[in-house]
């Protein structure tokens, strides 16, 4: 939309919409961050306090009562592992779908992604237990690949589709096999797509709670599942939970800020072809 | 360098038949142009030869080898695409070197070949540039360079000039022709532009509906078209066609019964028992004469001066007609002109199947 040609009220409406959306999205985040610096008695105070004496008490508690660092390592291992696995399978899969113009495999992966995670839990628990992998990184990485691979495929598909077919055909005429076309021609041309896919896969895998809760053990628990420990049956340690949540949100946030430009370009590519 | 033999090649997309069954022999080192209107199957045929499209049935030989089951990457054919299809992430040098690298050629040999081709095509100053930093004409040259460095058995060109402006098109056309004479490789060039076909080809294949209408040297196709379609397609402006009736030893124009012409003796036998036919006269084969008897009187209603000659448009026997005349004549709209058709240059076609009557 061109702001110069739109009436003034449209401009104001846009601003209003963005403001409301911004508040809806940011308010819980702001509340989370503020709460993490509040003394524990003030976290659940009603009405919520906006001005308070900030304290690192929650972070200190978090650090002292949990092996936070080893949970973080677990999260990084599982997330990076599943992102790499998603890329390793998702890139060739997306290229194959784009190349052959047979879309049902991609739709199938999307269906798997749309199915509720609980659907996988029982069969996976049984399967991984049978092969003795419960509590292992392998089980977590494999299960998280169900999240990452469809993301990689669906983000990359429009990128591959956007490369003129004749470029691939020229490579064929030059003597390239299909595999070589993928590595030498197609992949270098979808670099920003791979970046976007990696980040989205990372974020979704990082924040995925359910599989880790069931398939990990105390040594391999990821941050997001570990944070759940603060939710008790009788009482919930809101302060520590908020401190953990704030720290957990940092890596994806840092990544998103780092590659914001690519992210926007990548997310709109499918819509604006040509 | 190799000949190409096509035996009864057919191509169907589901129920749709693009090429019903086609035979063609292209000699070694020959420059053949496939020409025809959109949808005539010329690009499909080229892509079948390239190996980018499988044929539904039939056999394809490059040299002595049957290549039906040989993938495009192994056919040793180079192709120049309509949109050039350069690798956007590689420099001009790398675009040209890529195929040679794949063949495991030494760096020195690659360098020598790339620089030689670049010299031939005058693209040395751009070797380190990426395609997006080049003009259309320069990209076109790089696409040709990428084909030349490989020294392939066969060159294929898929309408490579259609994205260039008119002036550049003429220039590159001449360059490709010069190149073909220098490289002495079998070349197939696809175009819908009959001027490109006439000027470049050793032999022209005129296609319509996936069938070969005529295969011959440019002057053959122009002077003795096999049928009314070829006669109308080759030559610009197109040949004028007049439905005629035979009345004894004379032809009468359907649209103007008062206009008659004697049937040439040479055609009497060929005409046989036909009472109707189509008379074809090219715009350049009308000659303006004075007002004597036997000439076709016309009134000019449109004039297109081309510089070297002038096209005049008029109505003749109910048919919109074009004649190419000497610009010195300075024809004007409304002028009356007496025309005769050059003896021996008129064509006759069967009014049912369009085949030439000779």
Question: B79 contacts in A (CB within 8 Å)?
Answer: 169-170, 173
A166, A180, A188 member nearest B81 (Cβ): A166
Residue A86, pLDDT above cutoff 60: yes
DSSP annotation of B317 reads T
- Closest residue in chain B to residue A166, using alpha carbons only: B85
CB contact under 8 A, A166 and B71: no
CB contact under 8 A, B103 and A171: no
Rounded to the nearest angstrom, the minimum Cα separation between B25 and chain A is 22
- Based on its alpha-carbon atoms, the radius of gyration of chain B, rounded to whole angstroms, reads 24
Query: Is the CB of B101 inside 8 Å of chain A's CB atoms?
Result: no
Query: Is the CB of B74 inside 8 Å of chain A's CB atoms?
Result: yes
Tokens 């941050």 found at: A223
B74, B78, B83 member nearest A166 (Cβ): B83
Residue B48 · residue A127 · CB < 8 Å? no
CB contact under 8 A, A172 and B71: yes
Rounded Cα–Cα distance for residues B202 and B189 (Å):
11
Residue A137 vs residue A270, higher pLDDT: A137
| Residue A46 banded pLDDT, cuts 50, 70, 90 | confident
CB contact under 8 A, B88 and A189: yes
Question: A176 contacts in B (CB within 8 Å)?
Answer: 73, 102
Rounded to the nearest angstrom, the minimum Cα separation between B85 and chain A is 5
Which of A99, A160, A175, A184 is most worth mutating to test chain B (most B CB atoms within 10 A of its CB)? A175
Query: Is the CB of A274 inside 8 Å of chain B's CB atoms?
Result: no
Query: Is the CB of A179 inside 8 Å of chain B's CB atoms?
Result: no
pLDDT (0 to 100) of residue B22: 94
Rounded Cα–Cα distance for residues B23 and B123 (Å):
39
The fourth-level CATH superfamily of domain A59-267 is MetI-like (1.10.3720.10)
- Closest residue in chain A to residue B86, using alpha carbons only: A167
| Residue A274 banded pLDDT, cuts 50, 70, 90 | very low
pLDDT (0 to 100) of residue A246: 93
Query: In terms of DSSP bridges, do strands B240-247 and B77-80 run parallel, antiparallel, or are they unpaired?
Result: unpaired
User: Average pLDDT of A64-83?
Assistant: 93
Q: Exposure pattern of A6-27 as b/e (b: 16+ CB <10 Å)?
A: eeeeeeeeeeeeeeeeeeeeee
CB contact under 8 A, A185 and B77: no
Q: Exposure pattern of A62-72 as b/e (b: 16+ CB <10 Å)?
A: beeebebeebb
B52, B73, B85 member nearest A167 (Cβ): B85
Tell me the domain boundaries of chain A: 8-57, 59-267
CB contact under 8 A, A175 and B89: no
A164, A175, A184 member nearest B85 (Cβ): A164
CB contact under 8 A, B102 and A174: yes
**Dihedral of the alpha carbons of A43, A46, A48, A54, in degrees to the nearest 10:** -40
pTM: 0.83
CB contact under 8 A, B82 and A164: no
Rounded to the nearest angstrom, the minimum Cα separation between A167 and chain B is 5
Evaluate the omega torsion of the peptide bond into residue B33 and state whether it is cis, within 30 degrees of 0.
no
CB contact under 8 A, B87 and A176: no
pLDDT (0 to 100) of residue A142: 94
Query: Is the CB of B153 inside 8 Å of chain A's CB atoms?
Result: no
Question: Cα dist. B187→A175, B22, B85, B180, B217 in Å?
Answer: 19, 19, 19, 7, 15
Which class for B246: exposed (0-12), middle (13-18), buried (19 or more C-beta within 10 A)? middle
Lowest mean pLDDT among A1-5, A117-121, A174-178: A1-5
Residue A170 · residue B81 · CB < 8 Å? yes
Tokens 């949540």 found at: A245
pLDDT tens-place string over residues A2-29: 445 678 899 999 999 999 999 999 999 9
Question: B50 contacts in A (CB within 8 Å)?
Answer: 169, 173
Residue A192 · residue A110 · CB < 8 Å? no
Number of neighbouring beta carbons within 10 Å of residue A58: 25
Rounded Cα–Cα distance for residues B169 and B223 (Å):
26
Rounded to the nearest angstrom, the minimum Cα separation between A147 and chain B is 31
Average of per-residue pLDDT values in chain A: 87
Per-residue pLDDT of chain B (358 residues; tens, 9 = 90+): 689 999 999 999 999 999 999 999 999 999 999 999 998 999 999 999 999 999 999 999 999 999 999 999 999 999 999 999 999 999 999 999 999 999 999 999 999 999 999 998 889 999 999 999 999 889 999 999 999 999 999 999 999 888 888 888 888 888 889 888 888 899 999 999 999 999 999 999 999 999 999 999 999 999 999 999 999 999 989 999 999 998 888 888 888 877 777 777 777 777 888 889 999 999 999 988 865 666 788 899 999 999 999 999 999 988 999 999 999 989 899 988 888 888 788 899 999 999 999 8
Evaluate the omega torsion of the peptide bond into residue A273 and state whether it is cis, within 30 degrees of 0.
no
Q: What token pair was written down for A110?
A: 């999307």
Rounded to the nearest angstrom, the minimum Cα separation between A164 and chain B is 7
Question: A175 contacts in B (CB within 8 Å)?
Answer: 73-74, 99, 102-103
Residue A127 vs residue A232, higher pLDDT: A127
DSSP annotation of A48 reads P
């Amino acid at each position: 939309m061109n702001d110069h040609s739109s009436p003034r009220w449209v401009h104001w409406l846009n601003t209003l919409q963005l403001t409301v959306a911004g508040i809806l999205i940011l308010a819980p985040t702001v509340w989370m961050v503020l709460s993490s610096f509040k003394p524990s008695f003030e976290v659940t105070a009603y009405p919520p306090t906006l001005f308070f004496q900030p304290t690192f008490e929650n972070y200190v508690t978090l650090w002292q009562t949990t092996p936070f660092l080893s949970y973080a390592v677990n999260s990084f291992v599982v997330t990076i592992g599943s992102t790499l696995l998603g890329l390793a399978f998702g890139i060739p899969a997306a290229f194959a779908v784009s190349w052959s113009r047979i879309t049902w495999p991609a739709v199938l992966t999307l269906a798997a992604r749309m199915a509720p995670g609980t659907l996988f839990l029982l069969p996976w628990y049984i399967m991984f237990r049978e092969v003795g992998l419960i509590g292992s990184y392998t089980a977590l990485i494999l299960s998280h690949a169900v999240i990452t691979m469809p993301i990689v495929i669906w983000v990359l598909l429009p990128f591959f589709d956007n490369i003129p077919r004749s470029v691939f055909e020229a490579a064929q005429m030059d003597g390239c096999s299909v595999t070589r076309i993928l590595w030498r021609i197609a992949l270098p041309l979808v670099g920003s797509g791979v970046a976007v896919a990696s980040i989205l896969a990372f974020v979704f895998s990082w924040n995925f709670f359910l599989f880790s809760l069931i398939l990990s053990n105390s040594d391999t628990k990821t941050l997001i599942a570990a944070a759940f420990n603060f939710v008790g049956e009788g009482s919930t340690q809101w302060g520590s939970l908020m401190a953990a949540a704030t720290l957990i949100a940092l890596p994806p946030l840092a990544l998103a800020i780092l590659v914001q430009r690519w992210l926007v370009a990548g997310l709109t590519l499918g819509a604006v072809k040509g | 360098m190799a000949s190409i033999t096509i035996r009864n090649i057919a191509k169907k997309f589901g129920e749709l038949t693009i090429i019903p069954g086609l035979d063609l022999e292209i000699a070694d080192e020959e420059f053949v142009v496939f020409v025809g209107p959109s949808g005539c199957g010329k690009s499909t045929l080229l892509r079948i030869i390239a190996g980018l499209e499988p044929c539904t049935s039939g056999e394809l030989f490059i040299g002595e080898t049957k290549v039906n089951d040989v993938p495009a990457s192994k056919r040793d054919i180079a192709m120049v695409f309509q949109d050039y299809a350069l690798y956007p992430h590689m420099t001009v040098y790398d675009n040209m070197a890529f195929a040679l690298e794949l063949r495991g050629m030494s760096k020195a040999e690659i360098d020598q070949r790339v620089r030689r081709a670049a010299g031939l095509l005058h693209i040395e100053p751009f070797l380190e540039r990426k395609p997006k930093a080049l003009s259309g004409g320069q990209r076109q040259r790089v696409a040709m360079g990428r084909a030349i460095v490989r020294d392939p058995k066969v060159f294929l060109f898929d309408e490579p000039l259609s994205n260039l402006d008119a002036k550049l098109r003429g220039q590159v056309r001449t360059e490709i022709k010069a190149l073909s004479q220098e490289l002495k490789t079998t070349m197939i060039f696809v175009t819908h532009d009959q001027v490109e076909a006439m000027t470049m080809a050793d032999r022209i294949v005129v296609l319509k509906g996936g069938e070969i209408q005529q295969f011959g040297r440019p002057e053959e196709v122009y002077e003795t078209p096999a049928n009314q379609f070829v006669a109308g397609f080759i030559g610009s402006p197109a040949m004028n066609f007049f439905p005629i009736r035979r009345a004894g030893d004379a032809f009468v124009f359907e649209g103007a019964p008062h206009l008659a012409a004697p049937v040439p003796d040479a055609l009497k036998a060929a005409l046989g028992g036909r009472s109707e036919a189509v008379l074809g006269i090219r715009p350049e084969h009308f000659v303006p004469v004075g007002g004597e008897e036997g000439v076709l009187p016309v009134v000019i209603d449109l004039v297109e001066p081309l510089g070297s000659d002038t096209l005049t448009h008029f109505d003749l026997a109910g048919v919109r007609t074009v004649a190419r005349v000497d610009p010195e004549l300075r024809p004007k709209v409304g002028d009356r002109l007496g025309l005769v058709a050059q003896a021996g240059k008129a064509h006759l076609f069967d009014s049912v199947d369009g085949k030439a009557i000779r």
